[in-house]
Structure 1
Amino acid sequence: MLKKPLVLLAITLLPLTGCNTLPPPDVTPVQGFQLERYQGRWYEIARLDHRFERGLHAVSADYSRNTDGSIRVVNRGFDTAAASWREAVGKAWFNGPADVASLKVSFFGPFYGGYHVAELDPDYRWAVVVGPDKNYLWLLSRDKQPAPDAKTALLAVAAKLGIPAEKLIWVSQDRGDN
């Protein structure tokens, strides 16, 4: 992996990671959350625009448990301008009880940002994640191309959160080696 793009990614994440790690006031993180079921690969289906992900396609996130009890987060995406993969590895901790999907995540030293699962499919097939405020939103799926009913559900949750569909960037998952 190229070190320079990762350092640049970490620096651009600094404003996010310096923020509050609690959920926005009108967002209730999923209760009854089961990390064991959430672990593994998730594909980014859509997101709000942010410079730290701008130009990335085939974006995925992998979650696994570290031996110290934290959660390992590996975000990966293909940078079309550089024609190369970018990867950032972080660490997350629960903000409170482990059955509440409210976490703080860091990709850069002691600075943490909020990661809150606002809605989760009962079968853990799709999820809606917000950051410390609703300017950060990701629609995730276990499938690169979610079923139409899953996309409808994701869009309904985004709308309920006040995010209009036209603000979302739909992420191409065309890269075959992700």
Structure 2
Amino acid sequence: MKKTVIFITVLLISACSGKPEGIEPVSNFQLQKYLGTWYEVARLDHSFERGMSHVTATYSLRDDGKVTVLNKGFSEQEQQWFEAEGIAQFVDSPDIGHLKVSFFRPFYGAYVVFALDEQDYQYALVAGPNRKYLWLLARTPDLAHQVKSDLVHEAKDLGYDVDALIYVDHHSEVITSQE
């Protein structure tokens, strides 16, 4: 239970839905193409995900037009799965990849899609309210080396500490049978 509260993801620590200076969300964003499951390929370290492997985020459309966010990960230390469910909504317009996410309303945190495979929606870079938050997401646990390298280079050029990135394990065996 303690880890569930900690594993909130995407900026619960900050109640800010603003974007980092110099980071621009993608335009022509298509929510329908973004919905579904994304694998966390890499992230900057934070207490709410520390020690987590097999991390995914699943986005689904709600009847009210908002988005349900279900984050799931395996705690290596506790040898069990944890989930956190939140809600997201667009900050400005639904065609701009800038959302705010809440796991404990009324507090929201920024979710800024600033790099995206705009044709097939197979990979994305997501920022929080500042450069301490960065996620590299993909539709599969593995991402082609060149694509991953290009995305990491882009993040570095935008001022992120890419040397501190944690590459998420999606391949080791999980001890528990819970999914």
TM-score normalized by structure 2? 0.90
Give the CA deviation at 1:174: 1.6
Match for residue 171 of structure 2 among 166, 169, 174: 174
Residue by residue over 1:153-178, the C-alpha shift from the partner in whole angstroms, topping out at 9 and shown as x without a partner, is 22122112212431101111125686
Residue by residue over 1:83-117, the C-alpha shift from the partner in whole angstroms, topping out at 9 and shown as x without a partner, is 00010000001001000000000011211000000
Corresponding residue for residue 98 of structure 1: 94
Q: Does residue 151 in structure 1 map to residue 174 in structure 2?
A: no
| % same residue | 44
TM-score normalized by structure 1? 0.90
Match of 1:127, SS state, is strand
Counterpart amino acid of residue 163 in structure 2:
E
Counterpart amino acid of residue 45 in structure 1:
V
Identify, as 1 or 2, the structure richer in helix: 1
1:1-178 alignment, distance < 5 Å: 3-10=1-8, 14-16=12-14, 18=15, 20-122=16-118, 123-174=120-171
Which 4+ residue blocks in structure 1 deviate beyond 3 angstroms?
7-10, 175-178
Cα distance, 1:127–1:14 mapped onto 2, change above 3 Å: closer
Distance in 2 of aligned mates of 1:4 and 1:33: 35
Distance in 1 of aligned mates of 2:138 and 2:127: 15
Residue by residue over 1:109-158, the C-alpha shift from the partner in whole angstroms, topping out at 9 and shown as x without a partner, is 21100000011012211100000111100001111011112212221221
Give the CA deviation at 1:15: 2.6
Aligned residue pair count = 172
Distance in 2 of aligned mates of 1:32 and 1:71: 18
Structure 1 stretches of 5 or more lacking a match? none
Counterpart amino acid of residue 105 in structure 2:
G
Structure 2 stretches of 5 or more lacking a match? none
